[in-house]
A and B are shown apart, each in its own frame.
Chain A
Amino acid sequence: GIQVEQSPPDLILQEGANSTLRCNFSDSVNNLQWFHQNPWGQLINLFYIPSGTKQNGRLSATTVATERYSLLYISSSQTTDSGVYFCAVERAGGTSYGKLTFGQGTILTVHP
């Protein structure tokens, strides 16, 4: 199956700092999503971004599908950004329809 690797595994920031999270994947994809899992366990959709660049407030994401990676940028981090960030992909091809493969996640801690 498709492999998804996220880095770094852990990240500790001071409030106000910027950060970049990376997701590498091993095959062509037709779906890539970034999620934030908050301390209460909820999975929050951040971006649906199989290719290109999107921005939503302090967060932005870029996926370079031809080079099989995606980046999530967090600017001016806040304590509420703490949690686990997951990248999930759906491999291109009929047999993988709808099947998301998740990375191991990046644990982000933002200190005040």
Chain B
Amino acid sequence: NAGVTQTPKFQVLKTGQSMTLQCAQDMNHEYMSWYRQDPGMGLRLIHYSVGAGITDQGEVPNGYNVSRSTTEDFPLRLLSAAPSQTSVYFCASRRLGVNEQFFGPGTRLTVL
């Protein structure tokens, strides 16, 4: 199993541009989520999904959209990037009924 994969690894955007961060898992995990990590801080939850077609907001959802059309994929969309969205983004997944979560390698995003 590849586990949780994320693309791209690095991205630089200009203010106002849009982009999608990709996340995929091959473990058939129902639950997937997105976190952001700012310098010197722990991770904070952006959005999460308990299954295909079901998404909900986390602690810091503003400026981000998500959708879950398949069990495997959970993309994160920035519609109009802002410098405040400069961060490292992590995707995570877990199996329902099993509490342990597994994280992807992260995407480092810089918004100029």
Contacts and interface: CB of A to CB of B under 8 A. Distances in A.
A1 B40 CA distance: 20
B12 interface: no
A45 interface: yes
B33 interface: yes
Interface residues of B, number: 25
A86 B37 CA distance: 12
Contacts of B103: 35, 43, 45
A21 interface: no
Interface of B: 31, 33, 35, 40-45, 48, 50, 58-59, 88, 90, 92, 94, 99-103, 105-106, 108
Nearest to A105: B42
A101 to B, nearest CB: 8
Interface string A34-52: 0100000111010010100
Given A4-B42, A98-B31, A99-B58, 12 more contacts: A31-B100, A41-B88, A43-B103, A43-B106, A88-B43, A97-B50, A98-B33, A100-B45, A102-B42, A102-B43, A102-B44, A105-B42
